[in-house]
Amino acid sequence: ITVKDIEDFEKNYKDSEEELADIKAAYVDFEGDMDRILESVLCVDYTDEPRIRKIIEKAIDSGEVPSYKAFVKESKQKMSARKRRAEKEAREAEKTKEELGLGGEDDLKALIQSRNKDRKKEMDDFLAQLEAKYGNDAKKGGKKTTAKKGKK
């Protein structure tokens, strides 16, 4: 799966019948809680909230879904808190991306390969340590047998 595949899926999914059904189902499942609706619907971020809200309002007006108090009477404070939280997460993701040096698919591939090399080196060091501790010493180990004494 590449970034292009995800972008193509997002283009096909947005404003599709499948997305509309998912939005309505999430609305009913979470009884109008926009925080949980935005978390559960695919390919949605906080910038899509007005579009999602219009879809739900249209469905309420047409009688397809019931009207929930959590949706209809949502406070401006809750909306702005959701927006601040999403913006903070976006900044953190960007910061982490820069720290890891990720810019494209090749960078991610290089990061994974680098991590695998580190793991291999750690495993080799561990095995060498075990070999030094327990191996190559012929005198140690083994059970000494004692001569059996005969009965009198």
Lowest mean pLDDT among 97-101, 131-135, 146-150: 146-150
pLDDT of residue 2: 76
Is pLDDT above 70 for 132?
yes
- 49-62 and 17-29 helices cross at what angle (nearest 10)? 80
Tell me the two tokens of residue 14.
């947005």
SS3 at position 103? coil
pLDDT above 70 as % of the chain: 84
Average pLDDT over residues 111-140: 83
Is pLDDT above 90 for 25?
yes
pLDDT of residue 22: 93
**Cβ–Cβ under 8 Å, residues 14 and 42:** no
| Whole-number average pLDDT of the chain | 83
Rounded-to-integer distance, Cα 47 and Cα 49, Å: 6
Rounded-to-integer distance, Cα 27 and Cα 115, Å: 41
Q: What is the pTM of this model?
A: 0.58
pLDDT band for 105, please (50, 70, 90 cuts). Answer: low
Contacts 24+ apart (CB under 8 A), 35-43: 35/78, 35/82, 38/82, 42/13, 43/9, 43/10, 43/13, 43/14, 43/19
pLDDT above 90 as % of the chain: 24
Which tens digit of pLDDT belongs to each residue from 52-82?
989 999 999 998 999 888 888 888 888 888 8
Task: For residue 78, give every residue at least 6 positions away whose Cβ sits within 8 Å of its Cβ, in sequence order, or none.
Answer: 34, 35
Domain coordinates in residue numbering, the chain = 7-100, 104-133
pLDDT band for 147, please (50, 70, 90 cuts). Answer: low
Stronger pLDDT, 97 or 29, i.e. the higher one: 29
Highest mean pLDDT among 89-93, 135-139, 140-144: 89-93
